[in-house]
Amino acid sequence: MKFLDLAKVYIRSGGGGGGSVSFRREKFIEYGGPDGGDGGKGGDVWAEAVEGLNTLIDFRYQQHFFAKSGQHGMGSQMTGKSGDPVVLRVPVGTEILEEDEETVIADLTEPGQRVLLAKGGNGGWGNLHFKSSTNRSPRNANPGQPGIERTLWLRLKLIADAGLVGLPNAGKSTFLAATSNARPKIADYPFTTLHPNLGVVGVDGREFVMADIPGLIEGASEGRGIGDRFLGHIERCAVLLHLVDGTSEDVAGDARTVLTELAAYSPVLMDKPRITALNKIDALDEETIAERQAELEAEIGGPVFLMSGVAKEGVTDVLRALWSQIAVARGLTSTPVETVEKWQP
């Protein structure tokens, strides 16, 4: 299944049915009078967050959602049938925006959460409602109210507890594959990851969800590369894990590039707790590891973990540090492990 996190939809609620002009005419019944029924209500358009979906690909093939109109009223005081509603079933974590792509209408973050996008028009009154002492035979009825047309955007932000960031080939997908059952594509060339991947990670009997997004490059906040398209998926995370390739000749510069792009994209990301790890230490000698760890700590202003996703060295310590921040976000504890960096742009 292809991954799609942005879709444009066109919706229209149903119009109300018109009221009926009718008179009761039966044998042996004198002065039957008006008996026109009301029109039925038009169908509403709803959006509902459901489990089991992680992409908006369905909305690429169906973009128009029109609810049924209500039926007209009938004689014998019969009200017309209401139009059936239309429900857009979206993944948990979907934002619904106005046509300007900026105004947020709703943010569906819980399964079963619903929001009314367009209310159906009310049905018109039949002539029975207009009967009075001075107007015994009203011959007028109300038309139904028209439906509402809207153009909306659906934007998916995946629900994850921790997010992986770093340059291409920093080892993010390898780390996710080593710590969960997720099987992202892994290769020795940049931008192997083309869309976000989720994995359930466990440590010390506890589980949390981790998101891996495509790598960032310099100028990503201005549209270079593809990583900036998916930064929204880590805005909901409680903590970020910043992986730095230990085999790089300039680990401090690599870290600065990623953090600068995060700051340029959104202050929200910069305010999140971040844990930094020097990856691929299995390919380095001890002297080089110590030298590059010191460079990285001086750059970010905080501690740096040492790990190798391939050899699974130091992975448990990193996961425990992540969990300490997630536990604070969940309200399970108020004392996180002091491992968060202090970098400022």
For residue 192, name the pLDDT band (cuts at 50, 70, 90): very low
Binding residues for Mg(2+): 173, 193
Domain positions in the chain are 1-156, 162-329
CATH annotation of 1-156: 2.70.210.12
| pLDDT digits 0-9 by tens, 19-37 | 989 888 777 767 778 888 8
Query: Letter for the amino acid at 257?
Result: T
pLDDT (0 to 100) of residue 8: 93
CA dist., res. 317 & res. 276, Å (int)? 12
β-pairing, 64-66 with 94-97? unpaired
Q: Which two tokens stand for residue 32?
A: 């039957």
The CATH superfamily of 162-329 is P-loop containing nucleotide triphosphate hydrolases (3.40.50.300)
CA–CA distance, 157 with 184 (Å, rounded to integer): 19
Residue 195 has pLDDT above 70, yes or no: no
Grade residue 302 by pLDDT with cuts at 50, 70 and 90. confident
Identical fold at 1-156 and 162-329?
no
Q: Which residues make up each annotated binding site for GTP?
A: 166-173, 191-195, 212-215, 279-282, 308-310
Does the pLDDT value for residue 219 go beyond 60? Answer: no
**224: helix, strand or coil:** coil
Q: What is the pLDDT of residue 96?
A: 93
**Binding annotation:** 166-173, 191-195, 212-215, 279-282, 308-310
Q: What is the pLDDT of residue 185?
A: 47
Q: Is 178 left (phi over 0), alpha (psi -120 to 50) or beta?
A: alpha
The pTM assigned to this predicted structure is 0.72
Residue type, 97: L
